[in-house]
Amino acid sequence: MAGMKAKLGVRASLQDHFRTPQLQSPFHPRLASLMSGAHWYDWAGYAAPHFIRDEELEYFAIRSSAAVFDISPMVKYRITGRDAEAFLNKLTLRDVAKLKPGRVHYTAWCDDDGQVLDDGTLFRWSQSEFRLCCQERHLPWLLDSASGFAVSITEETAEIAGLALQGPTSAAILKQAGFAEVAKLKPFDIAGWKHGLFEAMVSRTGFTGDLGYELFVPVNKALALWDTLFAAGALRGIAAIGYDSLNRARIEAGFIVANADFVTSETALRADRTRYPDEIGLDWMVAMEKPVFNGKRAIVHAREKGLMRHMLVGLEIEGNEPAAGAILYHGKKIEAGLVSAAIWSPTAKRNIAIASIERRFAGAMANDLWAEIYAMRELRYQKLMKRARIVERPFIKLARRTQTPPADF
């Protein structure tokens, strides 16, 4: 009896995952100690901050000084081998042959029906070494796609910690921290940073439309990286931020988020909710000259037969009431689409939105679009019908984003 109890004890101790239902990022100790309360949300199983102290201040850290955002929960795959390029060419929409070692590109991938499974960034470290970063988990799909290729695929989400350092002073902070090469990095370049305490992979990328970098280190070096950046950035306004402020910056930059601005095809429950790349503004990615890639036949067919029904657009909406979740109407009557993200943009000083509309309303009919906004005014909704205009994305274009070498703010 006693033996049995002991055995049960051992088994129970091996199965205590339920005691910590949310995983903690390697930066959790720093985030938690800076945070004013417990403003956590769930990002792919990890506790991630909505904000640290104040969303407003954090937004201005992105645009005026430097913001640090923990991207460790982002799903990461390491893809290596002789056929890695060929494999990724079949998997993703863009032509990976055009991605040189030491470069990053934004890409997306589809199922056989041409419906987008996810979007993400592809880092090419060398001829045969890649890292794919994305929102959803795809290991079974990646492994099945790898049949016939000499390639090895491992998920390294839990092994690699990532930080985004974004904002005008981000380059100066990295320089201060001892990364001299930062001046040479052009947008989408990758470089290795050998610091005394860690070795990081640094790319000039980000999700803010601002000058910024993303840094990756093994998880056991995570805190060393954090502390190095904060020490170097003390006089340059470095601040930890949460997702809410980042979300504002990304809307201004016109970036879309999987399962917010479009539904990924593996998670969609309703057959008509999935999207072709052309329906979420990613038609430019599709490298039709590649002989085979997932979704090619379906995309060719849909383009030929005019089966694309939706379109993702940037909107400018009159007034200053953010139109999040608003239904769009043509002529204030016929339903035309839905706003998936909207803010009052502090930088553009405009009321902006990202929306999905039916294609037939995007042409000549686009000058009669209206957003139905319910504004809460002292415990009563006031229904506003505001004119919406289709405008170019990104909503803001900052010269410092691409300027090389970056200015020393």
Partner 1 sequence: MKFFDVVIIGGGHNGLVAGELLARSGRKVAILEAGERFGGLAASYEFAPGLSAPICNFISKIPSFLHEKLQLEKHGFTNGKTGADTISLDAGSETLVLHGSYGAQLSGVTPEENEAFQTLRKRLMLQARLFADLERQVPVQPGSASFRQKAAIAYSMAKQRLSGTEEFRQLLRMALMCVADVTEEAAIGPRLCGLLGFDATLGYRLGPRSPTSLMGLYSRLAREIAGKGGGIVANSAAEGIAEVLARAASASGAVLMAASKVSSITMENGRATGIVLESGAEISARHVVSSISPIATFGQLVGYQNLETGFGREIALLRHKGSVSKLFLALDAWPDLKGGARYVHAPSTAHVETSFNAVKYRQMPSDPPFEFVICREQTGKAAAIVSVTIANTPYDLDAGWTGGRKKLASSILTRMNLLVPGLRKSVIASEVLAPPDIEARFNLPGGHWHHHDYQSDRMYALRPALGAGNYRTPVDGLWICGAGTHPGGGVTGLSGYLCASELMAERNGRWPA
Q: Does residue 218 have a cis bond before it (omega within 30 degrees)? A: no
54 forms part of the interface with partner 1 (CB under 8 A)? no
Of the candidate spans 14-22, 54-62, 107-115, 360-368, the one that interacts with partner 1 by CB under 8 A turns out to be 107-115
Q: How far is the CB of 308 from partner 1 (least distance, A)?
A: 16
| Least distance from partner 1 to the Cβ atom of residue 88, Å | 12
Q: Does the footprint of partner 1 cover residue 304 (CB under 8 A)?
A: no
Question: Interacting stretch for partner 1, rule CB under 8 A, among 46-54, 110-118, 244-252, 342-350?
Answer: 110-118
Give φ, ψ of 58 to 5 degrees: -70, -40
Query: Nearer Cβ to partner 1, position 86 or 308?
Result: 86
Burial of 161 (C-beta count, 10 Å sphere; 0-12/13-18/19+) = buried
Q: Which residue's entry shows tokens 């239904």?
A: 327
Helix, strand, coil tally for the chain in percent (to 5):
30, 30, 40
Quick one: 86 or 224, whose CB is closer to partner 1? 86
Q: DSSP 3-state assignment of 67?
A: strand
Alpha helices in 180-328 (DSSP H): 222-232, 243-253, 296-305
Chain position carrying tokens 């002292």: 378
106 binds partner 1 (CB under 8 A): no
Nearer to partner 1 by Cβ, of 289 and 378: the residue is 289
List the beta bridge partners of residue 6: none
Residue corresponding to tokens 């100690």: 33
Q: Which range binds partner 1 by CB under 8 A, 52-60, 246-254, 288-296, 324-332?
A: 288-296
Say whether residue 274 binds partner 1 (CB under 8 A): no
If one asks whether residue 46 binds partner 1 (CB under 8 A), the answer comes out as no
CA atoms within 13 A on the CB side of 213: 29
Interacting positions 135-164 with partner 1 (CB under 8 A): 141, 144-145, 147-149
Residues between 112 and 131 that touch partner 1 (CB under 8 A): 112-113
Provide the binding-site residues for partner 1, judged by CB under 8 A. Answer: 83, 86-87, 90-91, 111-113, 141, 144-145, 147-149, 291-297
